[in-house]
Amino acid sequence: MSSAFNPLDSQLLFTLPRCMHKKSDWTEHTPFAMFLVEILRPRLLVELGTQRGVSYLAFCHGVETLKLETRCYAVYTWKGDAHAGQYDESIYRELAERHRRYEPFPSLLRMTFDEALPKIPGASVDLLHIDGLHYYDAVKKDFDTWRPKLSDRGVVLFHDTVEMERDFGVHQLWRELSPQFPSFNFEHGHGLGILAVGPHVPQSLLDFLATANARPAAVRALFSALGRRVLLESSKEWLDRQPAVVRALTAIKRR
């Protein structure tokens, strides 16, 4: 039996993730990431394109808090790309250190998306997050090649669905796919699209999508506000680690 989405029913929606990073484009979507784990309760989760791990560790935080038996895989080379830029080994080392607290249920697969395909059984992935190279052809290939890995409960997330610059093509693929499945698109944080691909996704997710599409402005405002809260907290956390910056700001305030 279906029911309307009520944010007050959520155990995780108003909690802060452990991993926050003010430079991550994903920080504002971490409340939804944890909420999605709560309503979907995925058995297997795969993220394509992890970088600093803000989204991935938010998923892991949800899994740990709810004591789920979810297996989580993050797939990336941690060398950068045309859209993420290039970065040094410290990015991977920092993520690996934070990742250890959640072991043994998550795994970092340091390889290309194609190399990871044989490691994931077919029809097994309940939640697939695609956030790799953002050219249209690249993201379409990611969706097409990984779609056979989706279970009958499979849900796909696409980041950067409203980003139009730097030859990003996710918005184009989203326009093509979203009418074909139950879906919803957030417009803050460069956009995040939710696509319910499987024929038997949980009713709790369908209820959320129904409410979101019936009241899009209210649902977008709620998750945007929750995301800004995390962004502000991450900026505060960063400032707390910068004594010189804090002293300078305090001196200015006293003038």
Which amino acid is it at 235? S
pLDDT at 22 over 70: no
Beta partners for residue 130, in sequence order: 48, 158
pLDDT at residue 11, rounded to an integer: 94
Question: What are the two backbone dihedrals, phi and then psi, of residue 173, each rounded to the nearest 5 degrees?
Answer: -65, -40
- Among 195, 193, 201, CA closest to 220: 193
Instruction: Report the C-alpha gap between 21 and 98 in whole angstroms.
Output: 12
pLDDT confidence of 238, banded at 50, 70, 90? very low
pLDDT confidence of 239, banded at 50, 70, 90? very low
Q: Which of 95-99, 116-120, 236-240 has the highest mean pLDDT?
A: 116-120
Rounded to two decimals, the pTM is 0.89
CA–CA distance from 45 to each of 54, 92, 231 (Å)?
15, 20, 25
Q: Where are the domains of the chain?
A: 10-254
- Among 4, 168, 174, 16, CA closest to 82: 168
Architecture of domain 10-254 in CATH?
A: 3-Layer(aba) Sandwich (3.40)
Peptide bond into 104 cis (omega under 30): yes
